[in-house]
Amino acid sequence: MNPLVVFLMFILSKIFSFFLSPFIWILVIMTYAIAINNDQKRKRLFLISILMLLVFSNTWLSNVIQYQLHAAPMRMQANERYDLGIVLGGMTSYDRVNKEGHFNMSSDRFIQVALLYKKGYIKKIIASGGQNGIFLEDNFREANFIAENLIALGVPSSDIMIENKSRNTVENAAFCKQLIDQHGGISSKAVLITSAFHITRAKETFEQAGIQVRPYPCAFSILPSATIFTAASLLPSSGTLDGWGGIIREMLGRVYLRVRG
């Protein structure tokens, strides 16, 4: 595909993602309510926006839905051995002030790929991830940062391949396929290491790109205990409201894959 078309699609996806936030929906409804010259309709719109705020800021409801999107643990069996493990980015953040990369709340991806290698389940690693933002961040590339830290843990650089151009899951899969083909392919499935919330969509994306994978979910952000209803879960949470963008994006991504597939 033409690089310009790919870039424009990436920009459009980022703009589209912005409008997936329920906070934006509520803000639009309230703005419209203030602007219209109809008291009855204004009251109805304000009521709708308040109800939406209560629903989308409810932690218990969010946890229940997110948990349904999580894959269950898929632990390695003693006899499992694979040529390659692919670990997806999304586990780091870049600090423009200190000019440094840092691991974030999804860093269990890094821990698990290191453990899989050290325990002998995978022979080589592809670190996949470029930059998630629209604008360059001092040329910070997530895959390079991951590889540097794997080497610091004792993984030989000869056992690490770097894919540092991708900005989303579709590009992760496409560029990893190119890299695998350049190195002569693999004789077994590749172990795909990413967050449990993301693994289902990632698996389908990679298999549509021509890479058969053994999924290895990690970074379990919602545990079964989080779905138990408590009185405290009725309290509105701004963090929960903010998290709905990711939930909706994941659900739409899965629908898109099914339609495309």
Question: Are 120 and 190 found together in one domain?
Answer: yes
Q: pLDDT by residue (tens digit) across 55-98?
A: 999 999 999 999 999 999 999 999 999 999 999 999 999 888 88
The reply to whether 93 and 121 lie within a common domain is yes
Q: What pLDDT, on a 0 to 100 scale, did the predictor assign at position 256?
A: 84
User: pLDDT, tens digit, for every residue of 2-54?
Assistant: 566 656 666 677 777 778 899 999 999 999 999 999 999 999 999 999 999 99
Residues 173 and 66 in one domain: no
State the amino acid at position 238 in one-letter form: S
Same domain, 16 and 139: no
CA-nearest of 93, 85, 104, 90 to 193 is 85
Domain count, the chain: 2
232 within some domain: no
Dump pLDDT digits (tens) for 120-144: 999 999 999 998 665 566 789 999 9
With beta carbons less than 8 A apart as the criterion, state whether 83 and 120 touch: no
pLDDT at 232: 85
**Residue tagged 């499992």 (tokens):** 80
231 occurs within a structural domain: no
* 179 domain-assigned: yes
Q: Which residues contact 157 (CB under 8 A, 6 or more apart)?
A: 147, 151
pLDDT at 6: 58
Q: In sequence order, which residues have a C-beta less than 8 Å from that of residue 209 and are 6 or more positions away? A: 170, 173, 174, 176, 177
The answer to whether residues 103 and 203 belong to one domain is yes
pLDDT digits (tens, 9 = 90+) for 133-184: 655 667 899 999 999 999 999 999 999 999 999 989 999 999 999 999 999 9
| Same domain flag for 46 and 99 | no
Same domain, 46 and 109: no
User: What are the phi and psi torsion angles at 190 (to 5°)?
Assistant: -95, 140
pLDDT at 136: 63
**Average pLDDT in the 184-198 region?**
95
CATH of the domain at 171: 3.40.50.620
Q: pLDDT digit string (tens) for 195-238?
A: 999 999 999 999 999 999 999 999 999 999 999 998 888 889 99
Cα dihedral sign for 84, 88, 93, 94? positive
The reply to whether 108 and 204 lie within a common domain is yes
Residues 91 and 211 in one domain: yes
- Residues 56 and 88 reside in one and the same domain: no
Tell whether 126 and 179 lie within a shared domain.
Answer: yes
Whole-angstrom distance, CA of residue 233 vs CA of residue 201: 29
Domain that holds residue 43: 3-70+238-260
